[in-house]
Amino acid sequence: RAKSQQRGGHFYFSRSMGVEIRERVRLMHALRSGVQRKELFLAYQPQVDLGTGRPFGAEALLRWRLEDGTMIPPDRFIPIAEYSGLIVEIGAWVLREACAELMRLRAAGYLDFTMSVNVSQAQFRHPQFVEVLRRALEDSGAPPEFIELEITESMAMEEPQLLAEMLAQVKRTGVSIAIDDFGTGFSSLSHLQRLKVDRLKIDRAFVTEITGSARGSSIAAMIIQLGRNLGLSVIAEGVEDERQAQILHALGCPLAQGYLFSRPLSPQGLLEWLGAQGVGDAA
Ligand code: C2E
Ligand code: MG
Ligand code: MG
Ligand code: MG
């Protein structure tokens, strides 16, 4: 058996790995037809000013609901979309839809509202990306200064030169850039300084730790200080309770999002939530 395993240099994998691979292939096919059947949609999580509690924007989060109602979480299907290349088409749709939603919010009177859109590595690196972004902005009429793209810190690590050039091109469209899940990717700080980013998003993991000990809050405190030193905006994600919000605010973090304020909402739910906060055209 050991011999046959080696013959031809074949990769010998376990039954459970085989099951996992088959499951991924199945999901990939389901995703391809799901895109056609319009099973994907966006949910919007409000972002607020920690000092005043006022909402100033929302993050668009991709959702996939199968015909039978089953929800597949993005952490499960986005890696599959990336590795199958489907993310290019899906990501372009996300951009268009998020821009369209921003325009609907503007039409409802929310003129000072930003929309954050997650962009994955494979999408960002696609040669047509800037063109797709430009088209989404032009076709919708969305003002670029109210659109923010979130890229992950691990993306910021690879090929710094190429990334810097890409970011410069993207920034020329007028949108701003946030680094998502900041603190998890060990990016070089000197590198960060050279990248033209606008905002750091403190990863939920560091927000969760914050109420434990002084040590627990040290990473969040460091990111907030770093943002201040580099002149970058900082937002905390995954804020679930009042105490976390208080500590973040005391540490000087100006912005936040999380279940404490709201879960991700449908477009209608977002309008209702905003209305209940007493902002917008009535304010
Ligand atoms: P992310 O961009 O870091 O998004 C934050 C995630 O934390 C979201 O999960 C959100 O629903 C969740 N969250 C927000 N507040 C809380 C909280 O208080 N507590 C807890 N426990 N969770 C909270 P979601 O929607 O499942 O998205 C997971 C990841 O999938 C996102 O992480 C992002 O990396 C990716 N993703 C989502 N939508 C898109 C998209 O349109 N394009 C791309 N490329 N990636 C996306
Ligand atoms: Mg994000
Ligand atoms: Mg994040
Ligand atoms: Mg995250």
% of the chain beyond a pLDDT of 90: 75
Query: Is residue 260 within 8 Å of 62, Cβ to Cβ?
Result: no
**pLDDT grade, residue 280 (50/70/90)?**
low
In this model, does residue 99 exceed pLDDT 50?
A: yes
In this model, does residue 170 exceed pLDDT 60?
A: yes
Q: Whose CA is nearest to atom 11 of ligand 1?
A: 264
**pLDDT grade, residue 161 (50/70/90)?**
confident
Q: Which of 118, 123, 201 to mutate to test the pocket of ligand 1 (most atoms within 8 A of CB)?
A: 118
Whole-structure pTM value: 0.92
Separation of CA 4 and ligand 1 centre (Å): 44
Query: Is residue 60 within 8 Å of 44, Cβ to Cβ?
Result: yes
Is 236 near ligand 1, meaning CB less than 6 Å away? no
Structure tokens at 48: 């607020």
Please name every residue paired with 71 in a beta bridge, in sequence order, or none if there are none. Answer: 65
> Please, what's the b/e burial string for 152-191 (b: 16 or more CB within 10 A of its CB; e: otherwise)?
bbebbeeebeebeebbeebbebebbbbbbbbbbeebeeee
Is 73 near ligand 1, meaning CB less than 6 Å away? yes
**pLDDT grade, residue 155 (50/70/90)?**
confident
**pLDDT grade, residue 3 (50/70/90)?**
very low
In this model, does residue 193 exceed pLDDT 50?
A: yes
In this model, does residue 174 exceed pLDDT 70?
A: yes
The string of pLDDT tens digits covering residues 6-52 is 445 555 666 677 778 888 899 999 999 999 999 999 999 999 999 99
- DSSP code of residue 50: T
> Please, what's the b/e burial string for 76-89 (b: 16 or more CB within 10 A of its CB; e: otherwise)?
ebbebbbebebbbe
What is the ipTM score, two decimals?
0.97
Close Cβ partners of 28 (under 8 Å, ≥ 6 residues apart)? 80, 84, 86
